[in-house]
Structure 1
C-alpha cells in the first residue's frame, strides 16, 4: 500500500542533528508515511546514522553535493505519497504535525498547500519563541477566509504578505503532489530564497494556500555575525527576487512585481551594512545607490555613513 505522506528530508553533514529529525518523524501519531532522506554528498557519518534505523519506511539516497534544492527535487521526483511534506535535518516536528495537516487536506479539497506556525530556537541564547505573532504586520496583508480558530484559507494577498516578510517555513508545509505537476519544483538555479520563489510562483499560478495557527515545528537557528558568507547569501537572495520579478512581469502583472520593492530595498540595506563591516566602501556605496532606487530612507543614509566613517 502506498503511503499517504512523503516526507522529504535533505541533509548534508548533519550526523549530530539528523537523529533528532528522523526521530520526530517516527514519533508522529500519523503513521502512513515514507521518509526520503536525500544525502547531498555528506562526508561525515550520515550514512551510518541512517543505517542504524531498521524501519522500512525510511529510504536513503546519496548524490554528489549539488545543494539543498537539488536534493529536495530529486526526492520529490521519486516520492509516492499523495501529499509531500518537508523537514530539514537540524529541525524537528511536533508529534501531531502530520495527523492534523492530513486531516485538513482531506477535509478541504480546495486547499492545495498548508503551512503552520512554528517555534524558533536561538542556539546562541536558547531563546524559544512562537513565530507568527512576530509576523503580524506581514500577515495583515492577507485576505483570509477563517474556517475555525486554528485554520484560515488565504483568498488573496499571499505574494504581498511574504514580500513584506516571509512567514511560510518550508518545514511546516504539506502540499498536494499535483501542485508540483502544475507549477514545477524548486528552482535549482537558486542557492537561497528558493522557498520564497516557489511560494511566489505557486501564488501566481492560483494555488490555494491555507495556514494553521498551531505550531508544529521546532526550528533551530544560529545567528552568525555579518561576514563574507552573509554577503553571498544576500546576493543569492537578489537573484531569487529577480526570478520572482520576471515571473510576475512575464504574466503581465507589473502590479504584483512592484510588491517586491520592499524586499529589494531591505536586501540592499543589509548589503550596505555587510560590505561596511568588511571594509569594502565601494561595494557599500553601490548597495546604497541600489537601495535608493526604492526610496531614500534614513536607515540607509545612516548605514552608508557608518560604512565610511566607523
Structure 2
C-alpha cells in the first residue's frame, strides 16, 4: 500500500465555514485518499451543506451530539488510509499541506507523527506570521516538543499504526483538550516526529472574545485533567518518567494561571469548585498545599511587622 491519507473533519453548526474548509482539502496538490465529514448532531443547515458537496472522496457520517472527540473517533474507526489527518471545520489548509507531509514521509520513513506551522487570521483580516516558536527542526525532539507545546489539531497527521498502539483514541468525557491528551500520548510513543515549517494551516478566529474569556477557566481545568490522564498512562505503560515530570510541571503552572485568573476576577465560589476538581490530580494537590503553606507563612510574618 502506498501513502493514503484519510482526512477527518468533525463539525457542529458550521454551515457558514464548512464549505471553505472542505474546499481547501479538495484543492490539495496531493489528493487525499478520502475525506470523512462527521456531523456531531448539528441543528443548523450543516447537513445540507455536506449533502450538496457531491465529491467522490467525501463520506458523510452523522452522530448525536457527543463532542468533537467522539466525532473524530468515529472518523478514525471508519478511515481506510494508513495516515490520518485532522482538520477542524473552521480552519483552512494551504493547497500544499498534504504534499509537504508526503515529501517529509518520503525523506524520513521513520516518521509517524507530523505537525506543521500555522497562522491565525482575525475577523478584520489581520494575520500573524507563524505560531510555532524558533528552534523546532524537521525532526523534533520529544522533550523539546512537550516543553514547548504549540500544536493545533489541524496541523497534525498521525500514522494509523501509531494511533492503534496508543490504547485508545480521543477521550470523550471532556469537551475540550481531547486533542492535547491524544497528541501527548502519540508524541511520547512516536518513532519519529516530523515538522513542516511552512504555514500550511490558517486558524480562523471568532469575534467572541467574551466567550473565550468565560471559557478560559474550564479550558485550564480540562487541560490539567488531560495531563493527569496522560501521566497515569505513562506510569501504567512504564514509559520514560521524564515525560510525566514535564507534564506535572505544566499542571502546576496551569493551576497557578487558573488561581490568578479567578482571584483577579473576584470569582471565589468558582475557584472553590476548581480547587475541588483540580485537587484530584496529585501534582496540583501538592502545589496547592505548598501555596497555602507559603500564604500562611506570609500572613504570619506580616502580623509581626
TM-score (norm 2): 0.81
Note the 1:56-135 alignment, pairs <5 A.
56-123=56-123, 126-132=126-132, 135=133
Would the aligned equivalents of 2:110 and 2:191 in 1 still touch at CA under 8 Å?
no
Residue 5 and residue 175 in structure 1: after superposition, are their counterparts in 2 closer, same or farther (change >3 A)? same
Report the 3-state secondary structure (helix = DSSP H, G, I; strand = E; otherwise coil) of the residue aligned with 1:9.
strand
Partners in 2 of 1:13 and 1:272 — Cα distance? Answer: 33
- The equivalent residue for 2:302 is none
Residue of 239, 263, 273 corresponding to 2:250: 263
Shift of 1:219: 0.6
- The equivalent residue for 1:174 is 157
Residue of 222, 226, 231 corresponding to 2:217: 231
- The equivalent residue for 1:195 is 179
Report the 3-state secondary structure (helix = DSSP H, G, I; strand = E; otherwise coil) of the residue aligned with 1:47.
helix
Partners in 2 of 1:2 and 1:205 — Cα distance? Answer: 23
Shift of 1:93: 0.1
Residue of 248, 255, 268 corresponding to 2:234: 248
- The equivalent residue for 1:15 is 15
Shift of 1:237: 1.4
Deviations 1:224-244 (A, max 9, x none): 246543222222112111112
Report the 3-state secondary structure (helix = DSSP H, G, I; strand = E; otherwise coil) of the residue aligned with 1:263.
helix
Per mean C-alpha deviation after superposition, the further-off stretch among 50-59 and 14-23 is 50-59
Partners in 1 of 2:163 and 2:241 — Cα distance? Answer: 25
Residue 100 and residue 125 in structure 1: after superposition, are their counterparts in 2 closer, same or farther (change >3 A)? closer
Partners in 2 of 1:166 and 1:296 — Cα distance? Answer: 26
Would the aligned equivalents of 1:197 and 1:244 in 2 still touch at CA under 8 Å?
yes
Partners in 2 of 1:294 and 1:165 — Cα distance? Answer: 24
Deviations 1:27-63 (A, max 9, x none): 1112243110000000000011112212111111100
Superposition RMSD in Å: 3.0
Report the 3-state secondary structure (helix = DSSP H, G, I; strand = E; otherwise coil) of the residue aligned with 1:126.
coil
Residue 251 and residue 21 in structure 1: after superposition, are their counterparts in 2 closer, same or farther (change >3 A)? same
Would the aligned equivalents of 1:91 and 1:218 in 2 still touch at CA under 8 Å?
yes
* Unaligned stretches of 5+ residues in structure 1: 147-151, 302-310
Deviations 1:4-32 (A, max 9, x none): 21110000000001011011011111224
Report the 3-state secondary structure (helix = DSSP H, G, I; strand = E; otherwise coil) of the residue aligned with 1:111.
coil
Per mean C-alpha deviation after superposition, the further-off stretch among 267-276 and 58-67 is 267-276
Residue 279 and residue 232 in structure 1: after superposition, are their counterparts in 2 closer, same or farther (change >3 A)? same
Report the 3-state secondary structure (helix = DSSP H, G, I; strand = E; otherwise coil) of the residue aligned with 1:293.
helix
Is 1:209 equivalent to 2:203 in the alignment?
Answer: no
The number of equivalent residue pairs is: 282
Residue 114 and residue 295 in structure 1: after superposition, are their counterparts in 2 closer, same or farther (change >3 A)? farther
Residue 2 and residue 50 in structure 1: after superposition, are their counterparts in 2 closer, same or farther (change >3 A)? farther
- The equivalent residue for 2:298 is none
Report the 3-state secondary structure (helix = DSSP H, G, I; strand = E; otherwise coil) of the residue aligned with 2:56.
coil
